[in-house]
Structures are given as C-alpha cells and as structure tokens.
Amino acid sequence: MADYLPPRELWPKRVYTLPEFATYAERFNPTEELLGKAVAAGRGDRTAVLFEDQRLTYNQLLTQANKFANALRDLGVKEGDRLILRTPNIPPALVANFAILKLGAVCTRQQCAPWRSRGSARQLPDRQAHYRRRRRCCRGEGQGIPRIRRAVAVG
C-alpha cells in the first residue's frame, strides 16, 4: 500500500448490512461499476448525463473517461496518487472524475466559482490571499506545503 496511508489496523471498518451491498467486492472501480457495466449490459446508448442542452450517453462518457485516463497515465498518474479536480460543475468535470477513479487515483473535488462572481468587493482581498497561497503551493514554498507537480485544464 502507499506510504502515506495509516497502518491497516487504523483503517475504519466497513460495515454494510443492507443486502444490496453484499454483491460489492472489497475493492472495486467505480468507473467500471457505473459506466462499464451499463455499456456491457447493452445500455450504452441511454442518456447518462443531462446538462443544459447537452446529452452524454453511457458509451460517450466511458469513451471520454478512458481517453482522459490514458492521457493522465501518460503523465505518470498511477494508483494511489492524489489529484485535485478544481472545475465548475460541468460534464468535463464528471469525465475527469471518472478518469481519475479508473486509474485508482484519489480525486479531491474542489468547486470553483465562475469568474463573474456574485460576491461583494469585500471578498476581493481574501481572493487575492487565496491566489498568493496557491502560487506558493505551486512553487513548493512554505512549511509542509507539497509541491504541485502538474496542472491539467479540462473543459
């Protein structure tokens, strides 16, 4: 297991008493469970995502997630890696999430507000401080701040 995880005896115990959980394996891939099995069962042409005027079928979603997972793999992303997904709530964010999970990486979702913020001018100094912290993080500066190795834009 990855070196950043606590010892196995400190992990929480999974207690699932509902019968529908009995068929799940101890470890499974959500992308395969939610997309791959739907496509394999012949439901690939059904709509999986409705967003404004866009429709994505299970087949399209799986294909895009596979392509993005392959691109991430080419960048060196592997099982257990941690990725921050900072996107608005749009279909490419869902594709990226499924791609990250397909590789067995850990996805941390961080909602970002649209640029045309409805916030007040009073929030501006906080936003500037956020960007300064993010810049320091990207450079690996500061106590205990891990360096961001790579940023990938989606959408």
Specify the number of domains making up the chain: 1
- Residue 127 half-sphere exposure, CB side, CA atoms within 13 Å? 11
In this structure, is residue 92 part of a structural domain?
yes
Lowest mean pLDDT among 7-21, 37-51, 66-80, 140-154: 140-154
Question: Cα Rg for the chain, rounded, in angstroms?
Answer: 19
> For residue 97, which of 46, 48, 137, 131 has the smallest C-alpha distance?
48
Res 61: pLDDT: 96
SS3 22: coil
**Rounded Cα–Cα distance for residues 136 and 147 (Å):** 9
In a domain, 127, yes or no: yes
CA distance 82 to 12: 20
Above pLDDT 70, what percent of the chain? 68
User: Which residue reads 């940023």 in tokens?
Assistant: 151
pLDDT of residue 56: 94
Q: Is residue 4 part of a domain?
A: no
Identify the CATH number of the domain in which residue 87 sits: 3.40.50.980
The alpha carbon of residue 34 and the mean position of all alpha carbons in its chain are separated, in whole angstroms, by 15
Please choose, from the candidates 115, 117, 65, 110, the residue with its C-alpha nearest in 3D space to the C-alpha of residue 86. 110
- Whether 121 maps to a domain, the answer reads yes
Six-digit token pair at 151? 């940023």
Q: Which residue carries 């360096």 as its tokens?
A: 147
Q: Could you give the CA distance from residue 56 to residue 91 in angstroms, rounded to a whole number? A: 8
By residue range, what is the domain housing residue 53?
A: 28-139
One DSSP character per residue, 34-47 reads IIIHHIIIIITTSE
pTM above 0.85, yes or no: no
Residue 32 lies in a domain: yes
Would 131 be classed as within a structural domain? yes
Residue 8 lies inside a defined structural domain of this protein: no
Mean pLDDT confidence for 135-145: 58
In a domain, residue 9? The reply is no
In 3D space, the residue among 68, 72, 108 whose CA is nearest the CA of residue 91 turns out to be: 68
pLDDT at 131: 59
